[in-house]
Amino acid sequence: MQKGQNILLVGAGGIGSEVAHLLIKGYTGSITVVDMDKIELSNLNRQSFFTLQDISQYKAEILSRSIATLSSNAIESRFFTQDITSAFFTVEFFKKFSCILSCVDNIPARKHISRMSVLSGVPVIESGTAGYDGEVYIIFPKKTECYECREVSDSKVYPICTLRRTPTEWHHCVHWAKYDEVGNRGAEDTLESIHRISAARAVQYNIEVQDISVTKEILDKTIPSVITTNALVANLIVLQMDMLEKGVLHNIYYLDRNNIRRVKGIAPYAKCRVCGPTAHTIEIGKTTSLQDILRHLQIEVCEDTVVLKDTSLIYDTEYTDLLCTPLISLGVQTGTILKVLNNEISHMIYISVNESLTACHN
């Protein structure tokens, strides 16, 4: 493994902590850990960096501190506790790193990391587990598939790895009701009782109560979080770091109950809506309009041109007056991604706002 790299580790949970174990043993350089989650009691049986004394503290802080201490400060480690998808982490932030290790557990975060990879040009080693299954592959802008070149299924599974004392989503309430409340009280373990207890907890934390069918789906699709799977996937991540150094980019590793399989990845999908467009990053002022940006980037507007702000339409031929409207008044802010599309062109523009500017800057 190459020494002195600057690595971004996103996710300090099951996979991320296992990766840290391996890096401590033979890596010297800099690691930045990003994770917004706090340590829960239910983490302790699989995430060995954390102890009872660490409960309610941020995973990223404790893991970062442990990396520095256990490596005898051979690794320079720092941490952030913000959500990786927030505008706090700009394209310029991602450009500081030689490699991004994606150890997150949800699709929105994976999509965002992949988009930041395309915009910053920094490669990602993507990973994930589901019970006894796992997957690890490299995302290298313009050379391999990005996360959204593939059709990502909306079908969810729910790893039962953390029972959150402070839930933020409905499935946190369902898992707490089934494994903490119902199990401990010896109550009849029925769908109705779990749903009732989940609803009471959701109301307590201002979470929308879902239909009982959603509760049933969560229970049906709940899978175990297996520490040995996390450890094997972490080893494959470190292997992929070595492959990335050597320029071997197209190996995809799949893990199941029986073996580890390596398959050959393919080139980016030409019509991918994320890595297919020409990528730009641009800094705007408070009076900058869409027309200013298009002129600055020398993008011509024709009859079939549309402009999207994330997924919302902000310009087509019926909204020509919006061309000269200040973008800030249209809800554009630092972190906004604009897409300019027509039959001939496709551009993705990352926006950074600097209100002191009077013109656009790349």
Question: Would you say residue 110 lies in a domain?
Answer: yes
One domain for residues 75 and 147 = yes
One domain for residues 90 and 205 = no
DSSP string over 66-111: HHHHHTTTSEEEEEE-S-TTSTTS-HHHHTT-SEEEE--SSHHHHH
The whole-number pLDDT of residue 321 equals 85
- pLDDT (tens digit per residue) in 272-281: 989 999 999 9
Q: Does residue 181 carry a pLDDT above 70?
A: no
According to DSSP, the residues that pair with 252 across neighbouring strands are 263
Q: Which residues participate in catalysis according to the annotation?
A: 161
Question: Would you say residue 358 lies in a domain?
Answer: no
The whole-number pLDDT of residue 219 equals 86
Q: What is the mean pLDDT of residues 14-18?
A: 95
Question: Would you say residue 78 lies in a domain?
Answer: yes
Which of 201, 232, 264 is where one domain is finished? 264
One domain for residues 258 and 283 = no
One domain for residues 174 and 301 = no
Q: Which domain holds residue 213?
A: 160-220
What CATH number does residue 311 fall under? 3.10.290.20
One domain for residues 76 and 127 = yes
The whole-number pLDDT of residue 35 equals 97
Q: Does residue 185 carry a pLDDT above 50?
A: no
- Count the neighbouring beta carbons within 10 Å of the beta carbon of residue 213: 10
Q: Does residue 188 carry a pLDDT above 70?
A: no
228 pLDDT tier (thresholds 50, 70, 90): very high
180 pLDDT tier (thresholds 50, 70, 90): low
Residue 95, phi-psi category: left (phi > 0), alpha (psi -120 to 50), beta (remainder): alpha
What CATH number does residue 194 fall under? 1.10.10.520
Q: What spatial distance separates the first Cα and last Cα of the chain, rounded to whole Å?
A: 34
The whole-number pLDDT of residue 23 equals 95
Q: Please choose, from the candidates 10, 35, 180, 174, the residue with its C-alpha nearest in 3D space to the C-alpha of residue 97.
A: 10
Question: Would you say residue 272 lies in a domain?
Answer: no
Kindly report the average pLDDT of the chain as a whole number: 89
Instruction: Collect contacts of 184-192 with beta carbons under 8 A, ≥24 apart.
Output: 191/215, 191/216, 191/219
Question: Would you say residue 1 lies in a domain?
Answer: no
One domain for residues 146 and 231 = yes
- pLDDT (tens digit per residue) in 99-153: 999 999 888 999 999 999 999 999 999 999 988 899 999 999 999 999 999 776 6
One domain for residues 49 and 95 = yes
One domain for residues 243 and 122 = yes
Q: How many residues does the chain have?
A: 362
Question: Would you say residue 361 lies in a domain?
Answer: no
Question: Would you say residue 190 lies in a domain?
Answer: yes
One domain for residues 189 and 130 = no
One domain for residues 258 and 111 = yes
Q: What's the number of domains the chain is made of?
A: 3
Separation of alpha carbons 172 and 71, rounded Å: 35
The whole-number pLDDT of residue 186 equals 45
Separation of alpha carbons 355 and 257, rounded Å: 54
In the three-class reduction of DSSP (H, G, I as helix; E, B as strand; rest coil), residue 229 is classed as helix
255 pLDDT tier (thresholds 50, 70, 90): very high
What CATH number does residue 90 fall under? 3.40.50.720
Q: Does residue 187 carry a pLDDT above 50?
A: no
